Amino acid sequence: MRLKGFYIIFFVFLANTIESQSTASKQVTKFTIAAPQLDTIKTIWVYLPKDYQNSKKSYPVIYMHDAQNLFDNETSYIGEWEIDEYMNQLTEHKSIIIGIEHGNEKRIDELTPYTNEEYGGGKGDAYLNFIKNTLKPHVDITYRTKSKAEYTTIMGASLGGLISFYATVKYPNTFGKAGVFSASFWFSENIYDLVKITDIPESSRFYFLIGSEEGESMVPDQKRMVELLLSKGVKTKQIENHIIEGGKHNETLWKSHFPNAYQWLTSKETRQTYND
């Protein structure tokens, strides 16, 4: 087991059992929405910039998975990402953050585009269709968003990194950029096959992050994916590739590197003009 099995199962069943004091800021709210593609009701966390109510500006949107771990220690697995604390400090490059709660025992199904012989899964397209066709239209109507793909990022870690990468490759007209942290590329060889047969537009952007202590295959898997993208003609300016010495597969790694990833993904230099 390349660390993967224990972390996935432990994460799924214990994510809501840690008791701690709530740390979510007043900028964070929640709503529920029907997800017919998944036959469930989803809880969505929303971070709005501090100046949102007093401005008429529209904002880029970042869709993130595993919302329980993003804003609040009370609901986090083993520590939150402190997304709202970081965002509250910004004076520019502000965004709306949409956190989608994972489905507990359904998390593996939702965040994997393919099946795995040992862990199952494979309902990632239904999950992404929920985001594309139900959640995003609701968000764009309800909030002042910049709705085009160049202003829409999808981001996550572990299986969330896998589905974020997949989403940006398969649906580039919806998701222009991906934050790919500790991606579970080991889950299926099919993710590499998809990239081989897919034309990656010059507008797509990928921020890869992996820790050197995440398991024997994790760093080689990320290197392989980056090399595959480059071999297909994806330009180096479209990719940030970071291997963190000593980094482990946990929230500490992801929290500490979220700011750099956010700044790169939202900077003007990473945005291109789309023809949609």
What's the confidence (pLDDT) of residue 7? 46
Phi, psi dihedrals of residue 95, rounded to the nearest 5°: -145, 160
Q: Which amino acid is at 32?
A: T
State the residue for tokens 């010059």: 202
CB 59 within 8 A of CB 96: yes
> Is the pLDDT assigned to residue 246 strictly greater than 60?
yes
What's the confidence (pLDDT) of residue 231? 97
What's the confidence (pLDDT) of residue 8? 47
Q: Name the CA radius of gyration of the chain, rounded.
A: 17
If one counts every other C-beta atom within 10 angstroms of the C-beta of residue 105, the result is 10
What's the confidence (pLDDT) of residue 141? 98
Residues in the chain: 276
CB 80 within 8 A of CB 72: yes
Share of the chain above pLDDT 90, in %: 85
| pLDDT (mean) for 111-129 | 98
Please list the residues that pair with 181 across neighbouring strands.
157, 209
206: nearest Cα among 238, 174, 183, 181: 238
Q: Which amino acid is at 77?
A: Y
Which CATH number does 4-270 carry?
3.40.50.1820
CA torsion through residues 221, 225, 231, 235, sign: negative
Q: Quick one: residue 193, left, alpha or beta (phi over 0 = left, psi -120 to 50 = alpha)?
A: alpha
CB 210 within 8 A of CB 219: yes
Give residue 76's pLDDT band: very low, low, confident or very high (50, 70, 90). Answer: confident
List alpha helices for the chain, DSSP H: 4-14, 83-88, 107-110, 124-130, 136-142, 159-170, 190-197, 218-231, 251-266
> Is the pLDDT assigned to residue 274 strictly greater than 80?
no
Q: Which amino acid is at 31?
A: F
| pLDDT (mean) for 151-168 | 98
- Residues 12 and 130: their CA atoms lie apart, in Å, by 20
| pLDDT (mean) for 186-202 | 98
What's the confidence (pLDDT) of residue 269? 57
Q: 50-64, pLDDT tens digit by residue? A: 999 999 999 999 999
Q: 6-34, pLDDT tens digit by residue? A: 344 444 433 333 344 778 889 999 999 99
For residue 21, give both structure tokens.
């004091």
State the greatest distance between any 2 C-alpha atoms of the chain, in Å, as a whole number: 52
CB 121 within 8 A of CB 187: yes
| pLDDT (mean) for 104-124 | 97
What's the confidence (pLDDT) of residue 14? 39
